[in-house]
Amino acid sequence: MYAPGVTSSPSGGEPKVLDTAESIIIDGANGVTPAPRHAFPDAGVSLGLAVLVVVATLALRRRPFTTWALPVLLLLAAVPGLVHVVALRADAPLERPVLAAKVDQTLDAMQHAVPWPRPVHVAREEDDVLYPFVRYAVPSRSDSAPGVIELEVAGEHLPAKCRVEAPSGRVFCGDAP
Amino acid sequence: MISLLGLALIHLAGAALRAALTSRAFTQVVRSPASGWYAVVLLYGLSLGAPGLVCIAALLAWLRFSRPRPAPSAPVLPLSFWLTLGTLAALMLARPWVPTQWDEFVWLAKARIESTGFATAATASLDPAQDLVPSGYPPLWPSLVAWLSLGVDSVSAHVGAASLLLVLCVATALETWWSRLRSGHPLLLIAVLATPFVWVHARSTYLDLPVGLLAVALLGLALAEDLVTATVLAVVLCALKDEGMVHVFAATAAIWVTAPVRSFKLLSLLLVGGLTAVLWRALLHVHGIANVDHAPTTPLWHWLPQALTLTAFHASDLWSWGVFWSIALALSLLPTEDRTLRALRWALAVNLVLSTGALLAGPEQVRVFAQNGTLLNRLLMQWWPVAAVLVLESRRQAPK
């Protein structure tokens, strides 16, 4: 599953940064970058570096300066990832309000259209960006109850809006037709 | 914030229960972050109805019977502990009160169900018609979120509660290891805490970091022979996630292998954790619910090289982990006589073996998750706290 809207590298290769709200929803907790989703395009370099660090740590462990070398090495190697976490990702501290606003608007739209625990029959919830939102908006299902609301959800973009189709009362959220 | 009140109530109730069970002064145990978990275990048992009630009564009786006599006096946590915890908590809680990652929505959705009434999340989890996702998972975490929110059904209350629970897990782990870690190199502590991916999960409501933190706390408590609180954490771990059982087994094995004198009392951790997991599995079976993510199958042995390769790719990902896992691996290979270090290594090794085994013997979708990059970094997050303590303790194997 590829996250929609994930920024591509300038050369047009695999996306390098989780810098959209949609990519954070789908892959934000799977890695600092989308690398795990794309089978680690730089695995060779990373593995080579890892082997080098293991050998160096084993070789130098008994030298007095390693008291400082170990934390310095850890800190230096953490810098690229921390740049993503602190500045580049869509959930970086300064970007989070924008992300939160998109999430809020989408949840508000769904909770207004299908106020749980009123019975809802989810006729369509595709496995994409909006799937977890509809799971939160309608956490349990009781589609055989009288007065049930029919809901269709599909979409890849945030914030998503909902509309009610007249006269059926069927609710569509996201890009659903 | 309503969740803060909920946490305070649960902590006070837990401290009262701990004082009663261990014959320690309330004024002493109320200062211990781990006390809250006593009340959590009681509430979890109650939420499972009659079978849970029977098990919890047996557990409380066992804890009372097995308490150390005379009751040990706990060391007073110094100001440096509270300052460190306060700093970490401030960084973790400085987030908007909305979920932003896939599983956050799914876990908190179950908390919404529990907000409608006590034990409703457990009841809904056992009702196939409710079609909960993920199906068959233990309901403690979402239930706990709702209990802390005192039944308020709001997204900000739920995110706040889950974030506070994560802080409680940090506090529990830190409390357990503080006496050893405080004498370490402050720069090394900062360097280990600077692992980039940890800050993604520290500001999230995912369950992997909490499970890892409670696992390292369990190991620390067992090493310090506080088996009563360790048993309580074993129940919590196995009620949070199926992987909790793996952590309890790993910790027990690590303590058992490294113990100078092996006491069968250690196995109580495994027994109580196992009973917690079996109770939930039995309830699922009785209600016809399948946990399709964790259903065992015939092991695919030929997938072993791929499992190890994928684990190596994830662990060496510079952007997520820096060189943390490389250094942890190197330090694991150095000889040491220190029992704590040896126990930490054993815990990591057993976790690696059992989790790899679960990948091979799990359903096909688990291997698909691993290949898609949505599984192994989360397992590494569960192991990170044990590995972090291993790196922080490494000075004990340095030559004089």
Pull the structure tokens for residue A9.
């590298």
pLDDT digits 0-9 by tens, B226-250: 999 999 999 999 999 999 999 999 9
Chain A interface disruption, residue of B92, B105, B209, most A CBs within 10 A: B105
Identify the burial level of A108 via C-beta atoms within 10 angstroms of its C-beta, where 0-12 means exposed, 13-18 middle and 19 or more buried: middle
Tell me the shortest Cα–Cα distance from B383 to chain A, in angstroms.
15
A122-131, B149-158, B160-169: least confidently modelled range? A122-131
Closest residue in B to A70 (Cα) is: B188
Which of B102, B199, B391 lies at the smallest CB-CB distance from A132?
A: B102
Cα first-last separation, chain B: 50
- Which pLDDT score, from 0 to 100, does residue B233 have? 97
> Locate tokens 């995110």: which residue?
B159
Q: Which chain A residues are Cβ-neighbours of B330 within 8 angstroms?
A: 53-55, 57-58, 61
C-alpha to C-alpha distance for B164 and A98, rounded to whole angstroms: 23
Q: What percent of chain B has pLDDT over 70?
A: 98
Interface test with B, best of A136, A142, A156 (most B CBs within 10 A): A136
Where b means 16+ CB within 10 Å and e means fewer, B308-345 reads eebbbbbbbbbbbbbbbbbbbbbbbeeebeeebbbbbb
Residue B336 has pLDDT above 70, yes or no: yes
Structure-derived torsion over alpha carbons of residues B75, B77, B78, B82, reported in degrees to the nearest 10: 170
Q: Check residue A168 and give its pLDDT.
A: 82
CB B303 within 8 A of CB B368: no
How many other CB atoms are there within 10 angstroms of residue B66's CB atom?
15
Average the pLDDT over B152-172 and give the result.
96
CB distance B68 to B228 below 8 Å: yes
Looking at residues B308-326, what average pLDDT do you find?
97
- pLDDT, tens digit, 9 for 90 and up, residues B350-368: 999 999 999 999 999 999 9
CB-based contact B373 A31, cutoff 8 Å: yes
Interface test mutation site (partner B, options A85, A110, A122, A133, max chain B beta carbons within 10 A): A85
Q: What DSSP character marks residue A94? A: T
- Please, which residues 104-163 of chain B have a Cβ atom closer than 8 Å to chain A? 104-106, 108-110, 112-113, 116, 124, 129-133, 155
* Alpha-carbon distance A165 to nearest alpha carbon in chain B (angstroms): 26
Could you tell me which residue, A160 or B399, shows the higher pLDDT? A160
Tell me which of A124-138, B12-26, B194-208 is least confident.
A124-138
Looking at residue A8, its pLDDT comes to: 44
Confidence at residue B400, expressed as pLDDT on a 0 to 100 scale? 46
**pLDDT at B46 > cutoff 80:** yes
**SS3 category, A151:** strand
- Cα–Cα distance for residue pair B167/B383, rounded to 1 Å: 18
Which residue shows structure tokens 């698909």? Answer: B368
Q: What is the mean pLDDT of residues B372-386?
A: 97
Which tokens in the block code for residue B129? 């018609």
Which pLDDT belongs to residue A78? 97
CA-based end-to-end distance of chain A: 22
pLDDT band at B82 (very low <50, low <70, confident <90, very high): very high
pLDDT value at residue B214:
98
Put the strands of the sheet holding A149-154 in their side by side order.
Answer: A120-125, A149-154, A170-174, A162-165
Sign of CA dihedral B257, B259, B263, B267: negative
Burial of A92 (0-12, 13-18, 19+ CB in 10 A): middle
What pLDDT shows up at residue B65?
86
CB contact under 8 A, A49 and B316: yes
Higher pLDDT, A169 or B38: B38
Residues of A in contact with B391 (CB under 8 A): 70
Residue of chain B whose Cα is closest to the Cα of A130: B102
Scan residues 67-96 of B and list those with Cβ closer than 8 Å to A.
Answer: 94-96
For B53-73, the pLDDT digits (tens) are 999 999 999 888 888 777 677
pLDDT in tens, chain A (177 residues): 333 444 444 444 566 899 999 999 999 999 999 999 998 998 999 999 999 999 999 888 767 656 788 999 999 999 999 999 999 999 999 999 999 999 999 999 999 999 988 888 888 887 689 999 999 999 987 766 677 888 999 888 999 999 998 888 899 998 866
Strands A7-8 and A15-17: antiparallel
Contact with chain B for residue A164, Cβ under 8 A:
no
